[in-house]
Amino acid sequence: MTGQSNWDRARSYQAAIAERGAVITDADYLQPAETLLDLYGEDIRARAFTTQDPLRGEQMLRPDFTVPIVQQHMAFGAEPARYTYFGKVFRKQEIDEARPSEFVQVGFEVFDGSDVAAADAEVFATFAEILADVPVTPVTGDIGILRAAVMGLKTTERRRAALMRHLWRPRRFKALLDRFGGITPVPAARAALLAEADPMANLPSVLGLRSESEIALRIEALRDDAAADPISNMERDLLDALLSVRETAPNAMTLLGDIAVDLPSISTAVDGMSARLDALSARGIDVETLPFEAAYGRTSMEYYDGFVFGFSAAADLNIPPVATGGRYDALTTVLGAGKGVPAVGGVIRPDLVAIAEAAQ
Amino acid sequence: MTLKLGVPSKGRLMEKTFDWFAARGVTLRKSGSDREYAGAVDGIDGIELVLLSAGEVPRELDAGRIHLGVTGSDLVREKLSSWDQRVVEVAKMGFGGADLIIAVPQAWIDVDNLDDLDAVAAAFRANHGFRLRIATKYHRLVRDFLRENGVADYQLVDSQGATEGTIRNETAEAVADITSTGETLRANGLKILGDGLIHASQATLFRGRRSNWSKEQREILKTLDAKLAR
């Protein structure tokens, strides 16, 4: 249940964001399920409430605002634009009954590509100011650096694409990396299949939509892959080193700078981080002590592809971060039918702020 | 206050359940005619037999309308979220065994495991414009399994029966279904993925959470436990 005090908090946060030049907007409660399923995959069914409209088909109670706000902007907006909204979002709770299945979020989204570092800093600083008197600790990360590292691996395009696809699924990512690195041996049956002169010769009769030519194409791809050199130990070690960076921002910069010597593909992204730290500093954020974790957001924030951040209450409260956000340039391309715009934003949960304050 | 024991109301599962309890000195039987869903229990006091569909046992246990129940371990996992916090396994009964597995066409000679399935799902989506369809009636179990194993770009389509036929009918590309010997799958031109075992199910005696049980009911359970342990 959302008490009056949480709605009051939500309104005051939104007023603070609107004061900074954001336009107040809103989104529909019911969202077409197809869009969300295409974006998040089948997993969203475990998190979002699904219902049926006789004419519009399967609908979901909005699990977040980002998707509809981005769609609105891509359809009707023009850059630069700043939006704020607040209202309920709905999430099924399959594991922890103590967590609410509906709660209020207040959001801030910035579509402004004129100065990416400044926009990142603007969003982070806005939430930092709102939370100035709340006992929370910030953490930052940058999925863009990880993406740049994968894009720069000296291996086949197909392998890079496979790794990129699973950036958000650490277990499968690791399994792929072990396979591409030659750590996981090729199963005997697979080796035998690829060794056949014509693997397609004795094909059992083809059933279903996946055609014979699709099977033949994949066998060709598997043969190419078997012939490719393994991803070197050095590159795999560099990725490990990168993912384990967990330091204050200035120390993280030093470590990432070292890694960039051997993995030059991340240089641009590391420069971007440096520019962002300058921009944060200019907004009064103490970057000397600001925590940075290279793997932050990797498991829980699937559409972010650059700067990510969160503000967490004390661990013993066992609550999710009170505010989270990040950059999601690629999402705007997906939802904007190919046309993308630089975008960054975040949300804050008044109910969790209240819990953090009460525990003070 | 009696303890209500829910048992599948028909077929081999019912007969085997009756045999299992009989071997432990508890006689379950249908009272009245064979078509009547009323039962009786001999050999122990205070237990009332409730005959119902195996698929309803998890829900009834969870709701506390029955206190003990026999059903497939797959059904409990599928129908109850965080099942192990809602019911307790009292005994695995050693029959009704069946595996929930993922199967694909035998013609997919390039697919042996989940890693392959995931790669094919990505290519399939790129080629056909929609996510690879897996037909099943075990949505929760399959989704949790695929998430845990990092398989993406698939969708689950509901199939409540004749699931093996969905691929031939082009309403799915793969299936996640229950099989005991794999015979039906093979006959339908399908093969099981090497690491595609989602759950090995068998008939299991469960009990609900005892939060609202009376002292009398707890004592009946103790007596029953002693008989089952023999």
Q: Which of A38, A187, A215 sits opposite B108 (nearest CB)?
A: A215
Question: In b/e form, how buried is each residue of A144-172, taking b as 16+ CB within 10 angstroms?
Answer: bbbbbbbebbebbeebbebbebbbbbeeb
Nearest CA in chain A to B190: A207
Chain-centroid distance, C-alpha A22: 23
Q: Does domain B98-201 have CATH number 3.40.50.450?
A: no
Tell if the CB–CB gap between A209 and B128 is shorter than 8 Å.
yes
Residues of chain B contacting A218 with CB distance shorter than 8 Å? 110, 119-120, 123
Question: pLDDT per residue over B91-126, tens digit each?
Answer: 999 999 999 999 999 999 999 999 999 999 999 999
Cα–Cα distance for residue pair B218/A123, rounded to 1 Å: 58
Residue whose pair of structure tokens reads 């994968």 in the numeric block: A150
Domain ranges of chain A: 1-135+330-360, 157-202+209-231
Cα–Cα distance for residue pair A281/A262, rounded to 1 Å: 29
Is B118 touching A (CB cutoff 8 A)? yes
Interface ipTM: 0.89
A109 is in an annotated binding site: yes
Domain A1-135+330-360 fold is: BirA Bifunctional Protein; domain 2 (3.30.930)
Question: pLDDT per residue over B40-89, tens digit each?
Answer: 888 899 999 999 999 999 999 999 999 999 999 999 999 998 899 899 99
For chain A, report the end-to-end CA distance as a whole number of angstroms: 22
Tell if the CB–CB gap between A190 and B167 is shorter than 8 Å.
no
CA distance A41 to chain B (A): 6
Residues of chain A with pLDDT under 50: none
Asked if residue B210 has pLDDT above 90, the reply is no
Counting one residue from chain A and one from chain B, the pairs whose CB atoms sit within 8 A come to 103
Cα–Cα distance for residue pair B31/B17, rounded to 1 Å: 16
Domain ranges of chain B: 3-96+202-229, 98-201
Residues of chain B contacting A199 with CB distance shorter than 8 Å? 109
- Looking only at the bridges linking them, the beta strands covering A137-142 and A307-312 are antiparallel
Is B127 touching A (CB cutoff 8 A)? yes
Q: Is the dihedral of CA B55, B61, B64, B68 positive or negative?
A: positive
Q: Which residue, among B86, B102, B106, B110, would best test binding to A if mutated, counting the most A CBs under 10 Å from its CB?
A: B110
Q: Does domain B3-96+202-229 have CATH number 4.10.640.10?
A: no
Question: pLDDT per residue over B129-185, tens digit each?
Answer: 999 999 999 999 999 999 999 999 999 999 998 898 999 999 999 999 999 888 999
Question: pLDDT per residue over A287-321, tens digit each?
Answer: 999 999 999 988 776 789 999 999 999 888 889 99
Contact A245, A293 (CB under 8 A): yes
Average pLDDT, chain B: 93
Percent of chain B that is helix, strand, coil (3-state, to 5): 35, 35, 30
